[in-house]
Copies of this chain bind each other. A is one copy, B any other.
Amino acid sequence: MASNPVTRQTRSDVPEVVISRLPQYVRILNRLLDDGIQVVSSQQLGEKLQVTPAQIRKDLSYFGRFGKQGRGYIVKDLLERLRQILGINTSWNVAVVGVGRLGRAILSYPGFNPDGFRLVAAFDLNNQVVGEEVGGLSVRSMDELDQIVAKEKISIAIVAVPVEFTQNVVDHLVACGVKAILNYAPIAPQVREGIRIRNIDPVLSLQSMTYYINEE
């Protein structure tokens, strides 16, 4: 298993939880590179990520052989390989649907561009918002969604509409060819197989902490 190159495995062989950790590896490696650090051990990576070194070695083993026993990983090479595996060595065009308070914060968030996510279009359900300039984009009507998704080659959307509209908006996006959706509403919309969705949910995050602070 440890030496299997990724090409010998299908993508679905890798547990989703492993995939979800790789972006954190990428982030840490980027910081190490910025700090001029060229080699890092699984011990050091583990400390930064709060996981065991064994877990890191196991996670990476899904994608082939990285680093040498006792010598650590070459930061630049590991970073480049992980970016390639994750598909973030290219740039992705992203649409934001919902230009309320949260949508506006998202559109002005500076963290997307450096990581290759280009917010190229904004949409709102409310025609009073359509035409407004937000974050350098002119807000579009949902009637234009199909056409703009195709024209701008948008495969990812961030959805920040009220709960009651979320499933409809998600369905609409999927029908237009969007493949991955980040949803800020506190529900889990249904999508067909092959479509990826992540729900940002502050309550779930809070509930995962009370366990630890309860009965102290």
- State the Cβ distance, A23 to closest chain B Cβ, in Å: 4
Within 8 A of B (CB), among A91-120: 92, 94, 100-102, 104-106, 108-109, 111-112, 115, 117
This chain: copies in complex:
2
Do B206 and A182 have beta carbons less than 8 Å apart?
Answer: yes
List residues of chain B with CB within 8 A of the CB of A202. 106, 109, 111-112, 158, 182, 200
Binding-face segment, A33-41, A80-88, A125-133, A140-148: A80-88
For chain A, which range describes its interface: under 10, 10 to 19, 20 to 34, or 35 or more residues? 35 or more
A155 at interface, CB cutoff 8 A:
yes
Bound state CA distance, A132 and B203, in angstroms? 25
Given A105-B101, A212-B196, A27-B87 contact (CB < 8 Å): no
A87 touching B156, Cβ below 8 Å: no
Structural contact, A210 and B112, CB atoms closer than 8 A: no
In the complex, which of the residues A102, A179, A205, A215 has the most CB atoms of chain B within 10 Å of its own CB atom?
A205
Asked whether A88 lies within 8 Å of B210 as measured between CB atoms, the reply is yes
Q: Which chain A residues (1-55) contact chain B, with CB distance < 8 Å?
A: 11, 17, 19-20, 22-24, 26-27
Assess whether A69 is interfacial by the CB under 8 Å rule. Answer: no
